Amino acid sequence: MSDCIITRRDGFVTITFENYKVYLDTVNHSTPQTLYTARGSLAAASVGNYALFAGGYTGSSYSTVVDAYSNNLVRSTPTELSVGRRNFAGASVGNYAIFAGGESGSGSYAATVDAYNTSLTRYTPTALSTAREYLAGASVGNYALFAGGDTGSISATVTVVDAYYTDLSRTTPTALSVQRRGLGGASVGNYALFAGGENTSRVATVDAYSTDLTRYTPTTLSTVRNWPAGASVGNYALFAGGNSGSLSAVVDAYYTDLSRTVITSLSVAREGAVGASIQSYALFAGGYASSPSKVVDAYNTSLTRSTTSLSVARMWLVGASVGDYALFAGGYNGSSYVNTVDAYTNLIAPIYLPITAGSKYKLNSATETTAASNTTLTVYMPINGYIKYKGGKIT
């Protein structure tokens, strides 16, 4: 609940705040604490009050580091991955963020799965049915799904889908209709969608899995392409950009009934952008556009596009959401790996509240205070508590 209730009693007008928030019709940008280690080709997923950024490649080693950002953007470093790796995938289900597959070095491909609960305790559930890299993750109902990938080359792509239930047990639902790697994943309504990718050629195929893991094949993407970015907003799953033989700016939107529309293109054609969502926006950040890109395209629930920027241009970054924030972490800027994290929100913070002399207030767990004179409070959201305005007059 997010609410503000006004009542009048005993000479006071009382405003009671319960998880009160105010939103903009655009996005704000900040740069929280950097990653513990600079790296790219990492994986991301969210659980509880945390967005997790795991593993990746530092330029010289395969990282086991996990950075966890809380819903107020404080960073911690929980237990490391059981195996260092890059080019793997993250997805969330129930009380777990799950990281699966990847390349673990020297041409070795991992079937390893690491899962983190809401307390950031690490578990190692049943491995993938097939070791692979360049797979995609998405969630639907009680399942986190990991689809496609390759076992060492573009000629060794797979159709395998592994599904993890809320208790971390694994099943293998109906395979993808077309084998491929470099596909995009996103969820909408009762479906997890996997779109595009490549095998010996680029594909436009879209496979959708329902909450009971039944597979459907909705209308294909409007153009064949690999490395599209997926993200969701409102009633839509969006697949943006990629490479169709040349860099693509196309964005396909799938509604909850799996019907497809083609919406306003990205502001810059690029491949390997990454997606994340906040309250009323799907954001597509970075990627490669003849060089690493710093562009962020934001689509609202009406599918109108606006544009902002990363603090550092980069590709091979990842995105995840926590609380009121979409975070984009790590990557490669064309000459080195980076530890930069960019955070976006459409929440207004702080908010300024006028207080009249004699009024009483207790906000966000502070003790009750009586104002000695007219003043203005600076309060960060969400706001909980109350203000009792003396005499019922607010100035």
Domain ranges of the chain: 3-22+351-390, 36-347
- Tell if the pTM clears 0.95, that is, is over it: no
Which pLDDT value is given to residue 1? 44
Residues of the chain with pLDDT under 50: 1, 392, 395
| Encoded tokens for 238 | 């969006």
- How many C-beta atoms surround the C-beta of residue 163 within 10 A? 22
Whose tokens are 């059981």? That residue is 82
From residue 283, how far is each of 211, 244, 298, 310 by CA, in Å?
A: 25, 21, 4, 11
Question: What does the alpha-carbon distance between residue 30 and residue 350 come to, in Å, rounded to a whole number?
Answer: 14
Strand partners, 279: none
CATH 2.30.30.100 fits 36-347, yes or no: no
Question: What does the alpha-carbon distance between residue 226 and residue 63 come to, in Å, rounded to a whole number?
Answer: 26
Which pLDDT value is given to residue 97? 98
Which pLDDT value is given to residue 208? 98
Residues 136 and 150 sit within 8 Å (Cβ to Cβ): no
Which pLDDT value is given to residue 299? 98
Which pLDDT value is given to residue 2? 63
Which pLDDT value is given to residue 5? 83
| Encoded tokens for 212 | 């009971």
- CA 90, 93, 95, 100 torsion-angle sign: negative
Q: Which is nearest to 344 in space by CA: 319, 320, 327?
A: 327
